[in-house]
Amino acid sequence: MTQASPLELLKQARTRFTQKEIAAHVGKDIKTVRRWEKGETPCPAMLEPALQAMLRPSTVRNAGAHDNEANTRIIDLFAGIGGIRMGFESHGGQCVFTSEWNDFSQKTYQENFRDGAVQHTLIGDIVTFPAEAVPEHDILLGGFPCQPFSIAGVSKKNALGRPHGFECATQGTLFFDVARIIATRRPAAFLLENVKNLLSHDKGRTFDVILQTLRDELGYEVHYRVIDGAHFTPQHRERIIIVGFRGKTSFSWDDLRLPEEGPRLASILHRTDGSEPVLPWDGDRFFDHAARQVQPKYTLTPKLWTYLQNYAEKHRAAGNGFGYGMAYPQSVTRTLSARYHKDGSEILVYQGEKKRPRRLTPRECARLMGFPDTYRIPVSDTQAYRQFGNSVVVPVMREVARIMLPHVRALTHAAQAESAAELAH
């Protein structure tokens, strides 16, 4: 199935929204939207994510949406700023519960997910929250932090022989909270996301405990794969995705549609040719539209640029690979990290010979992670850099959701049919 073009997405949006609403959403005037619709001027490619976001079920649910899609309930644990949730909402998921402990992340999350029409709870720390109070759900989502597990004195045999052996191996880690909720609520499926190094952490023992817990003790069919976000955005970002199902399925990672060649950095940079969209929620915070340039504050100071060059030269002389990462329009960048706010060294945008490079702006970081321009950034630059550096590549989650959800729905339908048969008897 081919992906819808910006014009096709615009036509879909016009069945549900007025030209005025679309114009306000994408940061253009009504005349521009009208010209796009009539074919007088081509729809720009960068319009696509904004229209996709507008068509998401959380924005306005289409009256013709399939009930089985609209009723796939998800919970969002260690939610960050909601990147995993966005991927599942684009395929009909409905979030019924969120947990995120960081106050700044909560602020961004609440600004972008307005759950007034849905019975929804957002809590802080999941550690003290009773599993029985988590609402029923079909899919548990969680980008849980990687923590070392203490497995001293607990053999696999002993752990497997206990009804809740995972408590011995994982108590005191945040994975324990995922496991206790799965054990109590028994969702049809789960998706867990983590850094690639989880596979090799503590010589593989950490990952062994996770698999043992999910497969052997909780009884789920488990599949995992490392996926590079570079298939969808101009950033190398390898993350392990672990998915599990309560029953047997025909799920296969082979069903993923991963573009062989992803976009390049130019696709997410602010445009200096006059085509940069004016986003009402950003204003000129990141980009000076009148001057057609990125705000000067994102260019490295002479002192910082000198420091980074000297630091890189020092490590080169010592035979180390440490240093800054210069990025060009045709680049695929290094991984954006939560420390980007400190010096921006892993992704420095080239600005020409004899010119100092600059950091990505927070809006460009959002684009680098696959967030649409409709996503609002209500926090300081420092917090925004931390949040996007800790987040997920949204299109990766959207693609995983696409291949997961048919199997989840099959399991939930089978469970409903079984319950109905029992009641009939």
CB 165 within 8 A of CB 111: no
Give me the pLDDT at residue 170, please. 66
The whole-angstrom separation of Cα 82 and Cα 403 is 20
CB 302 within 8 A of CB 311: no
- Single-letter code of the amino acid located at 173: T
Catalytic residue among 43, 95, 146, 365: 146
Give me the pLDDT at residue 343, please. 92
**Model confidence pLDDT, tens digit, residues 1-40:** 456 788 888 888 887 778 887 877 777 788 888 888 888 8
DSSP 321-341: --S--EE-TT--B----TTHH
Q: Which of 60-69, 168-177, 300-309 has the highest mean pLDDT?
A: 300-309
The whole-angstrom separation of Cα 332 and Cα 159 is 44
CB 318 within 8 A of CB 310: no
- Single-letter code of the amino acid located at 36: W
Q: Which two tokens stand for residue 332?
A: 């695929």
45-64 average pLDDT score? 58
The whole-angstrom separation of Cα 423 and Cα 406 is 26
The whole-angstrom separation of Cα 287 and Cα 329 is 18
Residue 327's alpha-carbon distances to 165, 274, 296, 368, in angstroms, are 48, 22, 18, 13
Phi, psi of 95, rounded to the nearest 5 degrees: -80, 130
384-411 average pLDDT score? 96
Q: What is the set of domains in the chain, with CATH numbers?
A: 6-54 (no CATH), 70-262+391-424 (3.40.50.150)
The whole-angstrom separation of Cα 156 and Cα 158 is 5
Q: Which of 7-21, 161-175, 193-207, 367-381 has the highest mean pLDDT?
A: 367-381
Burial of 322 (0-12, 13-18, 19+ CB in 10 A): exposed
Give me the pLDDT at residue 344, please. 93
**Model confidence pLDDT, tens digit, residues 273-299:** 999 999 999 999 999 999 999 999 999
- Single-letter code of the amino acid located at 261: E
In the chain, the percentage of residues whose pLDDT exceeds 70 is 87
The whole-angstrom separation of Cα 318 and Cα 322 is 10
- When pLDDT is cut at 50, 70 and 90, the band that residue 65 belongs to is very low
Q: Enter the pTM of the model.
A: 0.80
The CA-based diameter of the chain, rounded to the nearest angstrom, is 81
Has 168 been annotated as catalytic?
A: no
